[in-house]
C-alpha cells in the first residue's frame, strides 16, 4: 500500500470513529499551540489571507470580493437589489427549522432520521392496476415526488435559507440572521431528536423497483451552500464553536459514507453530471475538513475522469445532449466543472486551462454554448421545459466564470443579456465588475 493510500485509509477509519477523531483533533491542537505558541489575533487574520490552500478562507466564494461588494452596498450601490434581498431574508426568519423527522413517509429502515426521496422523473405505470413498478419519463417531474411526504424539497429549502441568512448577516451585520442560520444548522445536523443520519441510502428510490439509487446523491450537491454558509459565519465569529465541531463530525461521517458505500462508489463512477457533481461534493467536504492532499488527488483525477470523458473535442457534452432537457443539463454539468476549476485554482491547480489529449476542455464547453446563449444559433437539441429559463441560468454561469477566471469576453456576454440585474445573490457569485 502506498503512503498516500495508507494515510487515506487511516483518515477514513479515524473519522468513522467520532470519539477517537475528537480526541485526536484535541491532541493535535494542544501539541500545535504548545509547540509554536498561541498566535495573536492579527497573526490569525494574516494567516487566513495568505494560507495555502485556503488563501481567502472561503472555498467556493472569495472573501475579498464579498468585502468589496459589501463596501459598494455601504456606499449606496445596488440599493434596490439589496433592499429586496433583505426583505427576502426577513421572511426566512419565520421559516423552519427543518428536519428529516418532519416527513410523513417512513424510510425502509423504519428510522425517520434517514433521508428519503423519490426519483423525480418516475411515474406510476398506467398499464398496471397498482401502478407498479413505476416507469421513467425523462425530464418530466412527477409532483408526487416533490411533496412533504419525503425530504427533498424540505432539504433544498433548508440549504437555500441558511445560505441566504448567512449572506444577510455578512452584509448587514445583524445578529438575527446569524442566529437563525445557526438554529437551522443545529436542528438539521446536530440535535439528537431531529438530526439527519449521515447517509443517502434511500435517496431517489423508485416505487416497485428499488428503495434508493446512487443517482440520488446528486440531491446533496447543495451541501456546498451549507458549507459556504458555515465558512461565512465562522469567518465573522458569528457561530458557536461547539456547533462547528459537531458539524465537522457530521460532515466527516457523511464523507465516509460517500466514499465507501455502494451508492457513493457507483456515483463516483458515473460518466455524466452525476459523477461531476459527486466530485464537487467530495472535494468541498475534503477541503472544509482540511484533508487537503486527498482533495488535490481528487481534483487531479478530474482531468482524466471527467474532462477527457465527458467533454468532446468540439466542447459538446454528449451525455447531456441526449437528455430531454439538453440545454439545462449541459449548463448544469458545466456549472459543476466551473466549481471544480474554481476549487482547483484555490489549491494552486489549473483545470480552467487544462486540455485533454482529445482536445477537450472546460473552456471549449463554454465556447460550444456561446452561439446559443447569444442567440446566433437556435438550440437544435431537445429542451422540453422553458428554454428562456435555461438560457438565463447559462448566462449567469458565464458571469460566474468571468468573475472567477477574469474572462472579459464571458463578462460581456453575461452583461449584454442583463442577466445580473435580477437578484442580489447573482452579484455574490457573478458580478463582472468585481474582478
**In b/e form, how buried is each residue of 45-70, taking b as 16+ CB within 10 angstroms?**
eeeeeeeebbbbbbbbbbbebbeebe
Residues 410 and 318 in one domain: yes
- What whole-number distance in Å separates Cα of residue 204 and Cα of residue 214? 8
Instruction: Identify the helix (H) or strand (E) that includes residue 204.
Output: strand 202-205
Measured between alpha carbons, how far is 117 from 141 in angstroms, rounded to an integer?
13
What is the CB neighbour count within 10 angstroms for residue 301? 12
Q: How many CB atoms lie within 10 A of CB 293?
A: 12
List helix spans (H) across 37-137. 41-50, 63-74, 79-92
pLDDT in tens, 297-321: 999 999 999 999 999 999 999 999 9
Both 249 and 305 in a single domain?
A: no
- Report how far residue 17's alpha carbon sits from residue 242's, in angstroms, rounded to the nearest whole number: 18
Instruction: Return d(Cα 264, Cα 251) in angstroms, integer.
Output: 15
Tell me: do 181 and 321 sit in the same domain: no
**Do 324 and 349 have their domain in common?**
yes
Domain count, the chain: 2
169 & 83 share domain: yes
Q: What grid cell was written down for 347?
A: 489549491
Contact 163, 157 (CB under 8 A): no
On whether residue 249 sits in a domain, the answer given is yes
Compute how many other C-beta atoms are within 10 angstroms of the C-beta atom of residue 158.
26
Q: Which helix (H) or strand (E) holds 136?
A: strand 135-136
Kindly state whether residues 356 and 392 are assigned to the same domain: yes
* Residue 221 C-beta-side C-alpha neighbours within 13 Å: 22
User: Where a domain ends, among 232, 254, 269?
Assistant: 269
- The two beta strands, 135-136 and 122-123, are antiparallel
Do 164 and 312 belong together in one domain? Answer: no
Q: Which residues of the chain have pLDDT under 50?
A: 1-11, 13-56, 420, 434-435
Pair (418, 291) in one structural domain: yes
Does any domain span residue 326? yes
**Cβ neighbours for 241, distance < 8 A, ≥ 6 positions apart:** none
pLDDT of amino acid 26: 43
Whether the Cβ atoms of residue 323 and residue 138 lie closer than 8 Å to each other: yes
- 262 and 307, same domain (yes or no): no
Other CB atoms within a 10 A radius of the CB of residue 330 amount to 28
Cis peptide before 133 (omega within 30 of 0): yes
The C-alpha cell of 83 is what?
433592499
For residue 97, is the peptide bond before it cis, meaning its omega torsion is within 30 degrees of 0? yes
Q: What distance, in Å, lies between the first and last C-alpha atoms of the chain?
A: 44
Q: Is residue 91 part of a domain?
A: yes
Tell me the three cell numbers of residue 408.
Answer: 472579459
Q: What is the CATH number of the domain that holds 413?
A: 1.50.10.100
CB 231 within 8 A of CB 156: no
The last residue of one of the domains, among 244, 269, 294, is: 269
Q: Are residues 433 and 321 in the same domain?
A: yes
User: CA angle at residue 8 from 308 to 275, to 5 degrees?
Assistant: 30
Burial class (CB in 10 A: 0-12, 13-18, 19+), 109: middle
Q: Note whether 323 and 423 are same-domain residues.
A: yes
**Residue whose C-alpha is closest to residue 352's, from 410, 394, 272, 290:** 410
Q: Residues 363, 431: one domain? A: yes
Q: Which of 114, 117, 108 is nearest to 144 (CA)?
A: 117
- What is the span of the domain harbouring residue 112? 78-269
Global pTM reads 0.86
Q: Report the 10 Å Cβ neighbour count for 24.
A: 13
Is residue 390 in some structural domain?
yes
Neighbours of 106 (CB within 10 A): 12
Place of cell 474582478: 435
In a domain, 242, yes or no: yes
Three-class SS of residue 53?
coil
Give the list of residues 6+ apart from residue 325 with CB closer than 8 angstroms, or none: 139, 382, 383, 384, 385, 390
- Domain end (from 269, 292, 313): 269
∠58-78-172 over CA atoms, to 5°?
Answer: 55
Cell numbers representing residue 84 in the block: 429586496
CA dist 231 and 233 (Å) reads 6
Supply the pLDDT for residue 64: 86
- CA 326, 200, 94: angle at the middle one, nearest 5? 85
* 3-16 helix and 241-260 helix, angle to the nearest 10 degrees: 120
330-346 pLDDT tens trace: 999 999 999 999 999 99
Amino acid at each position: 500500500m502506498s503512503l498516500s493510500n495508507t494515510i487515506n485509509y487511516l483518515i477514513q477509519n479515524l473519522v468513522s470513529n467520532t470519539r477517537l477523531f475528537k480526541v485526536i483533533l484535541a491532541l493535535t491542537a494542544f501539541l500545535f499551540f504548545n509547540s509554536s505558541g498561541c498566535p495573536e489575533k492579527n497573526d490569525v487574520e494574516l494567516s487566513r489571507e495568505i494560507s495555502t490552500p485556503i488563501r481567502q478562507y472561503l472555498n467556493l466564494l472569495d472573501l475579498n470580493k464579498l468585502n468589496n461588494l459589501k463596501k459598494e452596498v455601504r456606499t449606496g450601490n445596488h440599493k434596490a437589489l439589496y433592499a429586496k434581498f433583505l426583505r427576502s431574508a426577513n421572511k426566512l426568519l419565520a421559516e423552519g427549522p427543518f428536519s428529516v423527522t418532519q416527513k410523513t413517509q417512513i424510510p425502509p429502515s423504519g428510522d425517520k432520521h434517514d433521508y428519503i426521496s423519490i426519483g423525480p422523473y418516475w411515474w406510476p405505470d398506467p398499464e398496471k392496476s397498482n401502478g407498479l413498478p413505476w416507469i421513467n419519463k425523462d425530464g418530466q417531474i412527477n409532483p408526487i415526488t416533490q411533496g412533504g411526504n419525503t425530504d427533498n424539497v424540505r432539504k433544498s429549502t433548508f440549504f437555500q435559507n441558511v445560505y441566504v441568512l448567512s449572506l444577510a448577516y455578512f452584509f448587514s451585520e445583524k445578529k438575527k440572521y446569524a442566529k437563525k442560520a445557526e438554529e437551522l444548522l443545529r436542528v438539521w445536523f446536530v440535535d439528537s431528536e431531529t438530526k439527519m443520519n449521515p447517509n443517502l441510502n434511500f435517496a431517489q428510490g423508485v416505487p416497485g423497483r428499488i428503495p434508493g439509487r446512487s443517482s440520488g446523491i446528486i440531491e446533496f450537491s447543495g451541501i456546498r451552500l451549507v458549507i459556504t454558509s458555515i465558512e461565512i459565519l465562522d469567518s465573522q465569529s458569528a457561530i458557536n464553536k461547539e456547533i462547528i465541531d459537531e458539524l465537522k463530525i457530521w460532515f466527516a461521517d457523511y464523507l465516509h459514507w460517500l466514499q465507501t458505500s455502494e451508492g457513493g462508489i457507483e456515483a463516483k463512477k458515473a460518466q455524466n453530471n452525476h459523477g461531476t457533481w459527486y466530485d464537487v461534493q467530495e472535494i468541498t467536504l475534503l477541503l472544509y475538513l482540511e484533508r487537503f492532499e486527498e482533495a488535490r488527488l481528487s481534483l487531479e483525477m478530474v482531468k482524466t475522469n471527467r474532462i477527457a470523458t465527458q467533454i468532446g473535442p468540439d466542447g459538446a457534452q454528449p451525455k447531456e445532449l441526449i437528455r430531454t432537457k439538453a440545454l439545462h443539463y449541459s449548463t448544469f454539468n458545466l456549472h459543476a466543472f466551473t466549481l471544480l476549476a474554481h476549487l482547483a485554482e484555490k489549491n494552486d491547480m489549473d483545470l480552467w486551462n487544462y486540455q485533454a489529449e482529445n482536445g477537450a476542455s472546460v473552456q471549449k464547453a463554454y465556447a460550444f454554448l456561446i452561439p446559443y446563449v447569444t442567440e446566433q444559433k437556435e438550440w437544435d437539441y431537445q429542451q422540453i421545459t422553458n428554454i428562456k429559463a435555461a438560457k438565463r441560468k447559462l448566462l449567469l454561469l458565464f458571469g460566474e466564470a468571468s468573475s472567477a477566471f477574469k474572462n472579459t469576453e464571458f463578462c460581456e456576454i453575461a452583461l449584454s443579456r442583463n442577466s445580473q440585474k435580477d437578484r442580489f445573490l447573482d452579484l455574490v457569485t457573478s458580478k463582472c465588475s468585481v474582478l
